[in-house]
A and B are shown apart, each in its own frame.
Chain A
């Protein structure tokens, strides 16, 4: 599970992976400043493999990897680069790659049938797009993703600012959650109805960058930029950095007013990213757990910040931490067109609809729901197979507000492709930071308003990123034309 990086700043031509596969990167000789763009050529090979997720396990897990590692190679490119990635499918099934959170042209979005033909086994497909927004993004398949992502097909995509903020270390943690047998093999019950109708496939083994990380060595005085990416199918993380006060500087890639999170908990729904500034100011030689408090009664220690005996420096850095804006188009709230979106269905969904006084004929019965995969609904429709008909048609270059209501008993991280949106209100109250996101987590019975300028033409997926929910109806298409 070695973590590789493909960096446009590095001069290495070939990075050899642990599986012996080669990643080629045609690397620029000029910095971003001198050319304005850096063509970067990357090859990702998707293939099945066997690997022990922990040395203590008796058996290896049946995993899927990009370039032989979990996560796949970290792609690091300067903002404004033109990225070219060829995906070579060595799996026994079709796949695609979606560039989560990146505002790509529609044809590069990686959604089977909607934006491209599936990449069949033993064939390849090339994606090309310009990395317009700096920030923390990730890539993953968009076909049978509940199993393909669930077995490890994903990697980070870091688009670096032209003038990055000063830190001692820039660290990416891709968090994942595996459901393993006691032997270490992955439980082969992907897409079962219990997971689909409840809160998705939540596992029993959490990894950071593909492995259990008991200790993370740090030094007093150090400043980290910690890029957290939740690559889990369904697990929500609520991280308590004991003895530390992390400051959120970006969400879903987009800069935000630096702030300490509510109650000190860093909350990441599936597919969300949060960039933190973490100042290490505890005693030399001390240890401090990072506790995940997301599920009551099931708290556990994700890892531990272990201080070296000697400090890096004796004072706290006073360097600036505010990131430069990506200058996203500002929605015109006064003249925006409004649309209502209702999410319903799932276990206890009928009860919630009754409680909220919402009338809906779908789903007809809980038992009917249990015998099909039509479990979740958006505006009365449960998506089946590869949906194509748009649920919403948005006038291009106009501001739109989606008023979304979660009339279910469960949390849903709702992801819109091709755009970042501003989270305006939660339950009618303006959000404190008016954050830009591409995946917004909604609590049961919560109403969230998001706004954006529909400036990217095409048919875009709009779905829950609990991958079992997406596979059992909670998906739609939004047409921008």
Chain B
């Protein structure tokens, strides 16, 4: 009997958490950020997103190469970490204006990427040496999504 009560309670919790998760997803501020465990700049980027109203969960992983590959990002276009937001991926140090543009416009793509770790980008510090070229990744070749 006790067992039965417990399992019912467990299901209740699972349902509640699933509901909670869906609710948050709809708000589009929940970010799952996957990063190299030793990378400091990715933590800075997580803080930058938090300051801009996102809720960020940071997940250290050694699997970024495989994850970027399965996301469809060619090797030369990979950012150093991978953030999952509202069904899209955001790879690298993409400025928040572009992230918001993506979440507002909801284009039919898989995600966007700022390759490398350009100086001056959010979380990186240093002087900005030129415009950031942010690429969109869909089913075809990567193409420029926006420049800022």
Query: A residues engaging B (CB < 8 A)?
Result: 179, 187, 189, 192-195, 198-199, 202-204, 295-298, 347-348, 350-351, 354, 365-367, 369-371, 409-411
Tell me if B80 and A204 are in contact (CB < 8 A). no
B12, CB-defined interface residue at 8 Å:
no
Quick one: closest B residue to A370, CB to CB?
B116
If A347-B80, A348-B41, A351-B41 touch, whether A202 touches B62 (CB-CB below 8 Å) is yes
B63, CB-defined interface residue at 8 Å:
yes
Closest Cβ of chain B: how far from A206's Cβ, in Å? 11
B108, CB-defined interface residue at 8 Å:
no
Q: Please report the C-alpha to C-alpha distance between residue A371 and residue B116 in the assembled complex, in whole angstroms.
A: 10
A297 CB contacts on chain B under 8 angstroms: 37, 59-60
CB-CB contacts below 8 Å: B72-118 with A: 75-76, 78, 80, 115-118
CB-CB contacts below 8 Å: B23-45 with A: 36-41
B63 CB contacts on chain A under 8 angstroms: 204
Contact pick for A370, options B76, B125, B129, CB 8 Å: B76
A298 CB contacts on chain B under 8 angstroms: 37, 60-62
Q: Please report the C-alpha to C-alpha distance between residue A195 and residue B126 in the assembled complex, in whole angstroms.
A: 24
Query: B residues engaging A (CB < 8 A)?
Result: 36-41, 59-66, 68-69, 75-76, 78, 80, 115-119, 124-126, 129
Tell me if A192 and B36 are in contact (CB < 8 A). no
Tell me if A192 and B75 are in contact (CB < 8 A). yes
Tell me if B117 and A347 are in contact (CB < 8 A). yes
Tell me if B36 and A199 are in contact (CB < 8 A). yes
Quick one: closest B residue to A297, CB to CB?
B60
Tell me if A199 and B38 are in contact (CB < 8 A). yes
Quick one: closest A residue to B79, CB to CB?
A194
Tell me if B75 and A193 are in contact (CB < 8 A). yes
Tell me if B37 and A296 are in contact (CB < 8 A). yes
If A189-B69, A193-B76, A370-B76 touch, whether A350 touches B126 (CB-CB below 8 Å) is yes
Q: What 3 pairs between A and B have smallest CB-CB spacing?
A: A297-B60, A295-B37, A202-B62
Tell me if B117 and A348 are in contact (CB < 8 A). yes
Quick one: closest B residue to A295, CB to CB?
B37
A411 CB contacts on chain B under 8 angstroms: 38
24 examples of A-B residue contacts, CB within 8 angstroms: A179-B66, A189-B69, A192-B75, A194-B64, A194-B65, A194-B75, A194-B78, A199-B36, A199-B38, A295-B60, A296-B37, A297-B59, A347-B39, A347-B80, A348-B39, A351-B124, A351-B125, A366-B117, A367-B115, A367-B116, A367-B118, A369-B116, A409-B41, A410-B38
Q: Please report the C-alpha to C-alpha distance between residue A187 and residue B38 in the assembled complex, in whole angstroms.
A: 22
A195 CB contacts on chain B under 8 angstroms: 65
Contact pick for A189, options B41, B59, B60, B65, CB 8 Å: B65
Quick one: closest B residue to A202, CB to CB?
B62
Tell me if A366 and B119 are in contact (CB < 8 A). yes
A179 CB contacts on chain B under 8 angstroms: 62, 65-66
Contact pick for B62, options A295, A366, A370, CB 8 Å: A295
A351 CB contacts on chain B under 8 angstroms: 41, 119, 124-126
Contact pick for B39, options A198, A350, A365, A371, CB 8 Å: A198
Known contacts A192-B75, A348-B40, A351-B126, then 16 further A-B pairs from the complex at CB < 8 Å, ordered by chain A residue: A189-B65, A189-B66, A194-B75, A195-B65, A198-B80, A199-B38, A295-B62, A297-B60, A347-B41, A348-B124, A350-B126, A366-B117, A366-B119, A370-B115, A370-B116, A411-B38
Tell me if A203 and B62 are in contact (CB < 8 A). yes
B37 CB contacts on chain A under 8 angstroms: 295-298
A409 CB contacts on chain B under 8 angstroms: 38-41
Quick one: closest A residue to B65, CB to CB?
A194
